[in-house]
Amino acid sequence: MDKKITMGHITALITIVIWGTTFISTKILLADFTLIEILFFRFLLGLIVLIMVYPKRLKLSDRKQELIFAAAGLCGICLYYLLENIALTYTMASNVGVIISVAPFFTAVLSHVFLKTEEKLKAQFFIGFIVAITGICLISFSGSELELNPVGDILAIVAAFVWAVYSLLTRKISSYGYNTIQTTRRIFAYGILFMLPFLLVFDFSLDMQKFVKPEYALNLIYLGLGASAFCFVTWNYAVKVLGAVKTSVYIYIVPVITVVTSVIVLKEEITWMAALGIVLTLIGLFLSESKLNFKKRGKQNECRK
């Protein structure tokens, strides 16, 4: 496998591992922070860090590209997280976890329709999707009952669709050939800009005393520096190298990381349903990824002939 492709898979996996553990920091911060405050401060901190790391200004070669960056900030930074958080207030977290994991399916469909450069998908990708979603359901609903809530579940579906749109937009942005840190920084700036009106609607307050506590400060740094600044750069790099579909498939293992982290950090017990779900999710990930890899190898062999 090409070293660049390997690095794309590694960065996607690292990103998902970190994103799968953010619930711990969020849970700690929720003691004194609201969800909108956590969301705003983590991305503001992430933007500041990216500016410090790479202060060089991004000069666009085409003004029309600005609309793509704005749309990416609106979808991936503002709307996705707001929809997900609002959905959590209406329906069970397990429901949201399962529904959000449908994002790779939406990404695949949208890529097939709008991105002619993406590799075509056949049966094995969708078999992998079904296997993975079955596993995610077992993980999410182990020890709890399925409880449908139309409002919350629909908001979660919209959030998954919005993330798929964001994946396509970042794929488009990657084709411009700009530095990944610069493009991520611009996306963050637009995301925060679109978030400002929502601060007036939701319960937001700027209480600096909250930041004095080391526990809160460290967890905000983890979310801002690790889960935002670092992870969005690595995710956007993975999309650039692997494509929107291959990268989005890694979303399947977020529930797996969450369960493993809960066992290690929170000392929670893992049920047999969750264990079976982890196995099925990983098998689904392998099936979806291997389909694309085999197809690519087949094309390479044909070219050699």
DSSP of the chain? --HHHHHHHHHHHHHHHHHTTHHHHHHHHTTTS-HHHHHHHHHHHHHHHHHHH--PPP--S-TTHHHHHHHHIIIIIIIHHHHHHHHHHHS-HHHHHHHHTTHHHHHHHHHHHH-TTSPP--HHHHHHHHHHHHHHHHHHHTTS-----HHHHHHHHHHHHHHHHHHHHHHHHHTTT--HHHHHHHHHHHHHHHHHHHHHHTT----GGGGGSHHHHHHHHIIIIIIIIIHHHHHHHHHHHH-HHHHHGGGGGHHHHHHHHHHHHS-PPPPHHHHHHHHHHHHHHHHHHHHHHHHHHHHHHHHH-
Residue range 203-223: mean pLDDT, rounded: 86
Q: What is the pLDDT of residues 111-149, one digit of tens each?
A: 888 876 555 667 777 888 888 888 888 877 766 555 666
Evaluate if residue 59 carries a pLDDT over 80. Answer: yes
Position 201 pLDDT exceeds 80: yes
35-48 tens-digit pLDDT: 899 999 999 999 99
Instruction: Kindly report the pTM of this predicted structure.
Output: 0.83
